[in-house]
Amino acid sequence: MKTLGQPNAAFAGDHGHPDPELRSILATAYDGGTNYHRAIAALCTARLLLPIVAAGDEGEPGSGPDPDRHAEMAAVLVRSDSGATAVPVFTGIDSLNAWKPDARPVPCTLDDVAATAVETKSAAVVIDLPGPHPLVIEAGVIDELAQGHRLVELPDGGFGWMYLDREDAGDDHGH
């Protein structure tokens, strides 16, 4: 799963506090109109926290941790009653701790989370599962995000996907 467990210099000094403006946008995501798209667009530029936990066993039962074994970390997945999986991600350490205080928060971007969802064959990404304002992102949007595309609000009030033209990669122009 990429290098989500590795420090990202872009988030150096980040203490995991939620962005109040982002949470305000998430609070209105299901109020109709373009609010859901506006929330996705805001999440595209936000720092998110992906919970990871140690995976696998620690050695023989009753023997304690194996000192020669390095813990492998894995993204946490949640499963619905229907059996579908989702990747939970959080806008702040407060929300993550309310859900699973023993998980390690890894700062990341929404495209990283979407790539994890695709890799794990998850049906959704769930933002702030315990609240204050949960939001579900499903397959079509996840696929665009996993390719590095960002949803942006256009001057006319509509929304579109911004992506880097591979032929002009050195120019850093989106369209």
Architecture field, domain 17-57+72-171: 3-Layer(aba) Sandwich (3.40)
**For 44-48, what is the mean pLDDT?**
95
CB 149 within 8 A of CB 43: no
Name which of 65, 63, 151 is nearest 114 in CA terms. 151
pLDDT, the chain, mean: 84
Q: How far apart are CA 84 and CA 101, in angstroms?
A: 23
Which of 9-13, 39-43, 67-71 is least confident? 67-71
Copy the structure tokens of residue 23.
Answer: 């949470």
Which of 73-77, 84-88, 137-141 is least confident? 73-77
Q: Which residue has the tokens 């696929």?
A: 143
pLDDT of 55 above 70:
yes
- What local confidence, expressed as pLDDT, does residue 35 receive? 96
Residue 26 DSSP SS3: helix
Q: Which amino acid is at 146?
A: A
Q: What proportion of the chain, given as a percentage, has pLDDT over 90?
A: 67
Domain ranges of the chain: 17-57+72-171
